[in-house]
């Protein structure tokens, strides 16, 4: 028996995953990230197999992570987590800069870039093992946890996405 309430006890942060589709920046929200080694510095990322960003990471073998702060605008999570880069240029809707030619959010707590060295596909997800190519500490503040999202932040994210769709529909 697998009780998800037990699995939710493993703390996870929230990140904007950035990648490139040709010259076009793409991205999604991810929580499934952990530091996996310190020699070389490496991390593990798990992407949903339906994610367009996952397909771009698989092709280009590199990605960025922006570590989200607790005070992030809920729209950032809605923008990157509720729609697909297949049809939308998500980075056009936020300010961004680049690290190692990959998009990162200026309001993040930290920016990380990594290159994929191995991967394993489950039915639902693909796990990427990646060597860290850069890690910069932007500012010190509390990070947004997946638990914060599930407990309360999700309502604000849904509201901001509904508002965004209304504005987009009304031109």
Ligand X SMILES: Cc1cc2nc3c(=O)[nH]c(=O)nc-3n(C[C@H](O)[C@H](O)[C@H](O)COP(=O)(O)O)c2cc1C
Radius of gyration of the chain measured on its C-alpha atoms: 16
Residue number, 110 or 149, with CB nearest to ligand X: 149
Q: Does 153 bind ligand X (CB under 6 A)?
A: no
| Cα-Cα end-to-end distance for the chain | 49
Q: Does 28 bind ligand X (CB under 6 A)?
A: yes
Q: How far is the CB of 123 from ligand X (least distance, A)?
A: 14
Residue number, 26 or 132, with CB nearest to ligand X: 26
User: For residue 65, which of 22, 115, 118, 9 has the smallest C-alpha distance?
Assistant: 115
Q: Does 149 bind ligand X (CB under 6 A)?
A: yes
Answer whether 70's CB lies under 8 Å from 143's CB. yes
One residue of 64, 79, 85, 160 binding ligand X per CB under 6 A = 85
Helix axis angle for 74-81 and 154-169, nearest 10°, is 70
Residues forming contacts to ligand X in the complex (CB under 6 A) are: 14, 26, 28-32, 46-48, 51-54, 77, 80-86, 149
């Amino acid at each position: 028996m697998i009780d998800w309430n037990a699995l939710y006890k493993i703390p996870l942060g929230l990140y904007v995953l950035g990648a490139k589709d040709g010259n076009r920046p793409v991205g999604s929200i991810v929580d499934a990230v952990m530091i996996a080694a310190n020699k070389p510095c490496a991390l593990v990322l798990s992407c949903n197999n339906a994610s367009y960003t996952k397909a771009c990471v698989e092709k280009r073998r590199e990605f960025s992570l922006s570590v989200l702060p607790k005070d992030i605008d809920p729209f950032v999570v809605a923008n990157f987590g509720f729609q697909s880069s297949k049809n939308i240029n998500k980075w056009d809707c936020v300010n961004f800069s680049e690290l190692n030619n990959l998009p990162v959010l200026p309001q993040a707590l930290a920016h990380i870039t990594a290159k994929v060295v191995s991967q394993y596909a489950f039915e639902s997800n693909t796990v990427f093992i990646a060597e860290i190519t850069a890690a910069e500490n932007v500012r010190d503040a509390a990070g947004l946890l997946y638990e914060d999202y599930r407990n309360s932040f999700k309502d604000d994210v849904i509201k901001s996405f509904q508002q965004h769709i209304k504005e987009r529909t009304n031109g």
